[in-house]
Amino acid sequence: MPLIVMEPRGGGNERDRMKKIEAPPSSTFRLGSKINCFSKLWLVTEVNYNEEIKLQGVMRLCNYVLKWQDDIGNIIEEPCVCSKYKTSATGEDSGKIVTINDTRRDIYIQFNEKTATLRQEMRHYIDLKGVSNPKVYRLTDLNRTSYIIDDVGCFQMTYEEDQKKPPDVDRDDLMIADYKEPSEPPLPGVGSCRIIFDGQPVLKAGGSPRQFIAEFLDDDGNVLDGIVPTWELMPVGDWVNVNQISILSQSENRIELQASSSAVVGSKVLLQMRADSADFGVFEASLELGVESLW
- Model pLDDT for residues 203-245, shown as the tens digit of each residue: 888 888 999 999 999 988 899 988 999 998 887 776 556 677 8
Q: Is the dihedral of CA 130, 134, 139, 143 positive or negative?
A: negative
3-state class (DSSP) for residue 72: coil
Give percent of the chain with pLDDT exceeding 90.
54
More confident position, 277 or 81:
81
Query: Domain 191-293, what architecture?
Result: Sandwich (2.60)
- Model pLDDT for residues 240-259, shown as the tens digit of each residue: 566 778 888 888 899 999 88
Burial (CB count within 10 angstroms: exposed 0-12, middle 13-18, buried 19+), residue 148: middle
Q: What pLDDT does residue 178 have?
A: 97
Contact of 99 with 81, CB cutoff 8 Å: no
Sorted by where each begins, the domain ranges of the chain are 1-62, 64-183, 191-293
Whole-angstrom CA distances from 274 to 137, 192, 230, 238, 246 are 49, 12, 5, 24, 19
Which of the residue ranges 31-35, 87-91, 216-220 has the most confident prediction, judged by mean pLDDT?
31-35
Residues forming beta bridges with residue 205, ordered by sequence position: 293
| Per-residue b or e along 19-46, where b marks 16 or more CB atoms closer than 10 Å to that residue's CB | bebebeeeeebebbbebeeeeebbbbbe
From the options 2.40.10, 1.10.8, 2.40.128, 1.10.3470, give the CATH code of 1-62.
Answer: 2.40.10
Which pLDDT band, with edges at 50, 70 and 90, does 90 fall under?
very low
At CB < 8 A and 24+ separation, what contacts does 79-84 make?
A: 79/34, 79/41, 79/43, 79/109, 80/43, 80/107, 80/108, 80/109, 80/110, 81/17, 81/43, 81/45, 81/107, 81/108, 81/109, 82/106, 82/107, 82/126, 83/17, 83/107
pLDDT score of 15 more than 50: yes
- Model pLDDT for residues 45-60, shown as the tens digit of each residue: 999 877 666 789 999 9
Q: Would strands 64-69 and 75-90 be described as parallel, antiparallel, or unpaired?
A: antiparallel
**CA neighbours closer than 13 Å in the CB half-sphere of residue 196:** 9
Contact of 22 with 54, CB cutoff 8 Å: yes
